[in-house]
Structure 1
Amino acid sequence: MNIRFLFILTCICSIFWNAKAQNCNALYIINAQNGNVYDISSLNGNLPAATTNMSSSARSNLAMGPNPANTSQTVFTSSNISANSPVYVSNSSTGTNLPLGVGGLTANPISGSSTAGYVYGISDNKSLIKASPAPAANLGTITGDTIWSGGTVASDSFFDSNGRMYTVVTQGSARYIYRIDLSTLQAAQVVQLSGNLPSTFQGLAFYNGNIYAVEGFSTTILLASSFGARIYEINPNTGVSTLKTSYTLNTLLGPFSNADDLDLASCQSFTPSAAPTCNELFGINSNQGITYKINFDSAGNITGTTSVADGTPATHGNMSYGPIAGNLSQNQFVSSPNGSLGRIWVGVATSANTTYQQQSTSTTWGSPLGIGTDPSTGLVYGINNKALTRWSGSGAATTLGNVTGDANWTNGRSLNDIAVDNGGNLYLIISVTDTNNWLYRINPSTLTATPVTQMSGTVPDLTTSNGNGLAYLGNYFYYSRINGNGTDLWKLDAMTGVSSFVGNIAGTSTNRRDFGDLGSCATVTNVPGNFTFDCSAPSGGIVGAQLFANGNTQNSVLRIPISGAINGLAEFTLSGNGITTSPSPYVAFISQGASYVDIPFTYDGSGSAGNLTISITSPRATGSCSITIVIKDSVCYEDPALVANQTYPVKHGITSLGRAGANNGNWPMLRNSAYTVLESKTKGFVITRNSNPEGTIAIPVVGMIVFDTDENAGKGCLKIYTGSATGEGWKCFTTQTCP
């Protein structure tokens, strides 16, 4: 073949490969174990062939976006996570290093922006780091509200169409999406997350209308560990998260470490709406038919109100806000008459201000005094004292019946407004006397009410007939009482029961702010959860790293089976030799209907190998729980006594004996506990022989095996590469011990 033609063909193929490798309409994941980058846009759990492989010097963080030097090109930018890690673009060093450690990178994808293609990350101390173009720089500290200041930032971020970054902040068991203005270095809360969430956000990206997050996990069977990634899909409108899929990335001998880094990348951007969001609180003024947003500053003080919807009749005192049933990516206001049968009005929140539209003549409600929208389904519930109704989004509302409960519920007066959590539970305040007030949780399926907490602190006289409202925002239930032309507002911490006065929203006779009802679709999380231990279920046990009795401190995750789970927080105390949690008790969020909860814990490596029983207690649980886990010996082989009843049939093999299959000797299935087996009577298996793997293998991969012919005085030894960190490297297997 003509050499010039071959060169041109090679260049064309290279251009085509690069264009394919960097597709803005794709979602990528990078695995730091081997540097492979995969296109997982299909999100089907089947890992495709690697798109490219990153240098070991820059394979923990990944970003994709325009090349700042030529924004018509799309490039990968990568680095490792520690301070002074080199930054690579298109797998080549840029000659600049990160000034601080960064757990994730993201590129500004906005074409035409002065910073198009600039790559940023956020350090643990909340500094904004510019990684590319060179030189890398610390741009300053990002400031925000108390949750931002006291929380922990996630390991990655993504951009919106206005050039602002978004990341996740964790405070206790609650997680929030925050928006960062790069020009002012100010962070603002956007929405609280709920549902099935990762315990650790190792990567974030926006792709095809959703936010995606990733966390790594590992499993160990005998000598082999497999490392995988769970991908979570988050609705940016409601903050509801679901486990989308998972991938098995690679395997090696021995346990994986906590340094198994992952990152997501896409150069699609989130387009925020000017319309009201779930992270806001609203009140309706029935006298003038206007719905207002109640504005707060970063300290939680009321700063005023903003009109967001109008057009309802003056007789409409009920209002709720949340997703549309059948279209959870779009929110709407719902209004109806207060205490009398009448038509339902709807205002779809597509802009900063909307107009309520009257529904059909058949769309009526059965006399509620307060309504609330379920953020997970869009169903709207109404309450009038103890009578419950529900509207599905079309036709007339349905009467569900009277809610029953204990003596306080029966004897108390309803506040007559509803907040709804993502699990479909309803919340209502009951006043028995002026000094005996309770927050109740209602199961709309069984029509039963159970107490959540007794209210203390600053509580108004709730036994009067003053107009009132109830809604959830942030970590509090907000409730209101009409005060002349204005409204007084309180907030309730359901975990402690403490109520406190927020302030007065003033109004005049011609510009009223007398809010008879409140609304919000923020996720209810700061409430006590309930569940029953189900620790005999086979799913219980370690789902994190395998533990070894080697005297070293190790981290893992304990999966605790549960049943009858009701949305909320629960405290867990783990007791066992060498077992601790931080903090203790550990507080976890329990999703509605969850079948398990995962609790991260630390093992100090003490004691001997064998079975270790962990006792688990929780004040939110029914029943008791103990789970037995296996502590392995410090050597790298399995104690036969611990796996006598465990078999793992082999599904792959190579044989020279001309047999395979269930009807032909059941081979290789009759062999157990391996990924593949070889079979021959006249042949042996020889692995790669190398006299100097340290000098001849330029880019070793953790788990790589060779036979070093020069070791052991020329007798050789089997070597395994364990990593590049201090104390790691190529290690001989000469005794039954870990390399």
Structure 2
Amino acid sequence: MNITKLFTSIVACFLCFFAAAQQDGKLYLSLASRGAVYDITGLPSTFPTTSVFSQTTANHISNLGIGYKPAPSTDTNLYFVHSNTTNNSAVYYSGTASGSTLPTGIGGIAVNNAPGSYFGYVYGFATGSKNLYRIHPSAPSQAVTGDADWTDGAIFGTDTFFDVDNNIYTFIQRSGNTYLYKINLTSRVASKALTLSGDIPSAIQGMAYLNGYVYLSTLNNTNDAGNVEIRRFKMTDGIVTLERTYSGLGYLNIDLGTVPYYKPCEKQEVIFTEDFGQTTVRQPSPYMVHGVGHFTFADYLAIPPSQYNTQLANVVGYIENGYYAVVAPKRIQDGHSIFNYGFSIWGTDANGDTFNDHTGNADGAAMIINAGEIYAPIYKRKSTVDVIPGNYYKVSYYAYERYDGASINVQMMSGSGNTVLGQKMMELTGNGDRTWKKYEVVFRVPPTCTTGDLKYYVSLVNGRKGSTNNDYAIDDIVFEDLGCSYYENDSVLLNCNPTAEPIAVTDYKYNQPSGPVTINVLENDKLHNGAPATPGNVIFRFFGIKDVMGQYDNPQNTDPYYTVPGEGTWRYNRATSFVTFTPLSTFTGNPTPVTYTILDKTLALNGSNQGDEFYPGSESNIAQIIITYQTACYNEVVNVSPGIPTKHGITLLNRAGSENDNWPMVRTSGFTVVESNNKGFVPTRMTKLEIEGDGGSTPSKITHPQEGMMIYDTTDKCLKIYDGTKWSCFSTPSCP
């Protein structure tokens, strides 16, 4: 743009496809002195050495915009839109002439990428004029009306940007004041949006909007070096501050550009808080994920008298490795006098721990955790409201570190609770000083997150395994909506639209002989894209926990296994994907089914360097592994009289006859006979919901089932028979 103009913005819609160089969330600076465009996102201290776009004719980069082509074009690519500043200068889309030219000398153009009838139109202002120029597609200039400050003031710079409501913005100066005006494209009436204050520059040669800030560029010819100053202000307060100065860039036209357009945002404030209430008696948390391989509630009241003064009493009573409780910290050992075994980690004796909850309330509760060697959630809660696309969300909590070395992985998960959309590992920095410290993570929901279950989960996961120095408490968890104008760079961008989640399908092995049973557990499982799951592209987890081995994780690279007391051991072979159940010699009956999940390694989170234990990709639903042993009797059939010849049959073997010793008559006492040596009989196949309904709004598709009717259930993977009252899997033979 011309060096006398105010400011530039290149804005684009949130829902876009990008050309090679142009990207969402980036701040670009164009230099006519070099004929090039540079990415200065985050305002690095050193100016970039490599450009992202360039032109042989350098002054063709004087004006810069980023946007789409207008209708009737169906091109979905995003382009740098650029030109010189003089009258009749050609306008280009990433180096290709658009067919339009500037109607007059214009220093600053912008593309309206907001949805609506003006989508893709290129606009600009001319120095000394308050007329609005539509540059492409070309149209006559239009006068803009406004209040006294607009009418009597002077255009301060000629750059512009748009908002979601199809308003175009520019600056007016009058009586020592600088105002930001917005102009309705339909009525062409200007109204004040903001009054600027602070370090307002004497001139502006570029402007762009990004993440709640308006960025301004000013070119100073100090010692003929061409120093570029970058300032910015928030759309919420208008206070201008100088952020960065780049030296030696040449004294020719400059401009700024970004993709996002301004969108005044909604804000939901605090969505939920968790202060754990007040309790002097240990309580479980409804947001702790319980079950095998997860943390166990340290409920000493459940220990029978026969177990007093035992190791179990010590582990539970003192909240040892793998246990937790919600209780007032000073009251951890209340009711614990019946135990007298071992040493207390959280006790109030030798260690002198007498801390309160975070707020100092003596009876206020916190969650007390002895993490041990379990990688598992310590708090997982679903939002009660949809997240808003484009907004920022903060998860904060207080932690009290008993010893140095603990860490917590903060995650945002999909509405199903299976897929990690974004995460950040946070090492607790208390260094064992035994004080409450605050930790927080900010997540950004991309504007494209508009489909699916938008009630996301917040999950805090133990981030370190260790039998020592892994004891901490948490309190005052807050999940809040910051709106769409969060001003810090350190936020985690969510990957909120995974194509799909992987699918784990329950596995069955029925009527097995005694002894070990092996099943190919991944044989019927799928990746997110429908491709087969293999040992190389998924991570297998018993109970959804990494390498579970009873309470603790296995050593690295050891096949995960789990022993069910009194029954036997389940073991997963990493190389083959086979799960083997080996029963104890004293065990009879069928083993209790185990559950598992798979993680799709092809959906690894970008930038995650925490290893597979931190959920690198999308996690599947929970599936079961079910094994039954033979329990049927196999008595010889007793025929008390000759059978009656079967009169009807279907054969693929070409051997039907007409005599009683021919087929199908030799298959006696049947209604019909079906025969083949390379084909199977396929009964009717239906889903469980189609067969049985849900007992509510979805009835069974079989309106009048008859006793003895048989159907293959594609959900439960079994042949089902109707006994007159219910459908049951016909899979376990038994004696009459």
Give the TM-score range, shorter chain.
0.3 to 0.5
Give the TM-score normalised by structure 1. 0.35
Answer with 1 or 2: which has the greater Rg: 2
Give the TM-score normalised by structure 2. 0.35
Greater relative contact order: 1 or 2 (C-alpha under 8 angstroms, separation 6 or more)?
Answer: 2
> Which structure shows the higher strand fraction?
1
